[in-house]
Amino acid sequence: MAANLKELVRDNLSTTAADLIVSGSTESIFIGQLVFKNNSTTESREVTVWILPDGVSDTTDNILAIRTIPAGKSWICQEALGQALTGGSLLKSKQDAGTDVHVVGSGVVEV
């Protein structure tokens, strides 16, 4: 097995929960860093994050974290750091309005 440090995600959020990091059936992903940056200059944005096993839907019952990020500020999602995604599990996220929150994450992928 090989372990490689990788950028796991670099994307903008939307108001629909999107799969940001997805583990393949034969790989393990360790989340080392996950940062959300609100690029709005005037509006706070609420960000919701889920980590889900394969086949499980995002609901209010299985939210990992919710945070309101002030305009122009960043949030390091501590709840996601150190989490392992395996066997098709995934990390999803969305924002409450607009498309101005940018997410960057890195970690280790073992295949």
Is 32 within 8 Å of 85 (Cβ atoms)?
no
What is the pTM assigned to this prediction? 0.95
CATH of the domain at 32: 2.60.120.220
Sign of CA dihedral 107, 76, 90, 101: negative
Does the pLDDT at position 1 exceed 80?
A: no
User: Number of folded domains in the chain?
Assistant: 1
Averaged over 31-59, what is the pLDDT? 97
Coil, helix or strand at residue 77: coil
pLDDT in tens, 66-85: 999 999 999 999 999 999 99
pLDDT in tens, 49-67: 999 999 999 999 999 999 9
Does the pLDDT at position 100 exceed 90?
A: yes
pLDDT for position 61: 93
Range of the domain at 42: 3-110
